[in-house]
Amino acid sequence: MKFSNTLIYWYLQNNRELPWRKSKNPYFIWLSEIMLQQTRVAQGLSYYLKFTEAFPTVFDLAKADESTVLKMWQGLGYYSRARNLHFSAKLIANELNGEFPSTYKEIIKLKGIGDYTASAIASICFNEPTAVVDGNVYRVLSRYFGIFTAINSTAGIKEFKTLAQTLIDEIKPGTYNQAIMDFGALHCKPQNPLCNSCPFSESCIAFEKKLTKELPVKEKKIKVRKRYFNFLVIKTDDNKTILSERKGKGIWQGLYQFPLIESEQIINQEEIIASEKFIDLFPNETTISLFNKKEIIHKLSHQHLYTNFWVVETKKHKKANVSWSKIEDFPVPILIANFLDQFQLKK
């Protein structure tokens, strides 16, 4: 049987019932695709439900403040997705009359949408035969065809996209695209793929040659940077604290945090108090204590953050801009959200 037919047949029996699959509304499909970038269905699902309830149309999303969108995105990671989603929602609502672009060529122009997402939306919503290539597709195709070209090399990206495009079902491109991804996620898994019950076991090169574990090939690994974070959790007499938005290019752009003293190594209380930032913030007397007994190691994909939370009690402070009762309104990285949970618990 044809590759695509086998896949679609498998899909008809094994597909997952997911809320966005009940619709071909490009707004819903778009939302789901952005949320699922580099994210498991199990992690993204509740966010999808929350977003579609709060923002049933692109106009509702466009009307929201960016900080509200980020707050709702809190915990899902890769926050530029939320900022780009919101940017594009405003563009669609205000400049396109709320009408989602209907071709791959137009869809990919939107901020936050690349080749994968444009292909997914164009095929699922508008029946355009544009093949998706995500992590699942790399795995399925590299194994089935026995391709050792690195999936994250320029040559690999091109080779797999071209191959995927030759395999797509021209009649049901959307179904085909979802089928190959579900097949990769549920059957041709990274570890312990279900080769013994596989509809491709007669023709899969990796299965035949016992190369499943070697494929797909991925080049080089990322190096992890170590950073040392000291957050100053301020409690003033009038029950306020200081939060500020992270600007610029690095991690957590648009999210809020406590005043941060970053150091090259682990530093102790004396060094905190002696630091320029601390003196600038607290020229007068304060009480300082370390909240966490052991330093918290927060692991991002490419940074390890060795973190201490220092509770600083002080008199009224002119820079204290946030009431403790309002602190939950601010979008914060999960590292800080977890701290706040612990901190509020102890009170």
Partner DNA sequence: CACGCGTGGGC
Partner DNA sequence: TGCCCAAGCGT
Summarize as ranges the residues that interact with DNA (CB under 7 A).
18, 32-33, 36-43, 75-80, 84, 110-118, 120, 134-136, 139, 153-154, 178, 181-182, 184-185, 189-192, 218, 220-223, 249-253, 298-303, 333-335
Kindly tell me which of 120 and 234 has the beta carbon lying closer to DNA. Answer: 120
Kindly tell me which of 221 and 316 has the beta carbon lying closer to DNA. Answer: 221
Q: How far is the CB of 187 from DNA (least distance, A)?
A: 11
Rounded distance between C-alpha atoms, residue 29 and residue 101, angstroms: 13
Kindly tell me which of 129 and 156 has the beta carbon lying closer to DNA. Answer: 156
Kindly tell me which of 281 and 305 has the beta carbon lying closer to DNA. Answer: 305
CA 107 from centroid of its chain's CA atoms: 20
Q: How far is the CB of 341 from DNA (least distance, A)?
A: 11
Rounded distance between C-alpha atoms, residue 89 and residue 78, angstroms: 18
Q: How far is the CB of 113 from DNA (least distance, A)?
A: 5
Q: How far is the CB of 94 from DNA (least distance, A)?
A: 18
User: Does residue 33 have an active-site annotation?
Assistant: yes
Kindly tell me which of 11 and 278 has the beta carbon lying closer to DNA. Answer: 11
Query: Left, alpha or beta for 344 (phi > 0: left; psi -120 to 50: alpha)?
Result: alpha
Residue for token pair 């699942």: 136
Amino acid occupying residue 146: G
Kindly tell me which of 153 and 275 has the beta carbon lying closer to DNA. Answer: 153
Kindly tell me which of 210 and 220 has the beta carbon lying closer to DNA. Answer: 220
Q: How far is CA 148 from CA 32, 141, 200, 208, in A?
A: 31, 10, 19, 15
Q: How far is the CB of 238 from DNA (least distance, A)?
A: 30
Rounded distance between C-alpha atoms, residue 305 and residue 112, angstroms: 27
Q: How far is the CB of 152 from DNA (least distance, A)?
A: 8
Check: CB of residue 47 under 8 Å from CB of residue 41: no
Q: Per the residue annotation, which of 33, 66, 159, 214 is the catalytic one? A: 33
Q: How far is the CB of 184 from DNA (least distance, A)?
A: 5
Residues with a catalytic annotation lie at: 33
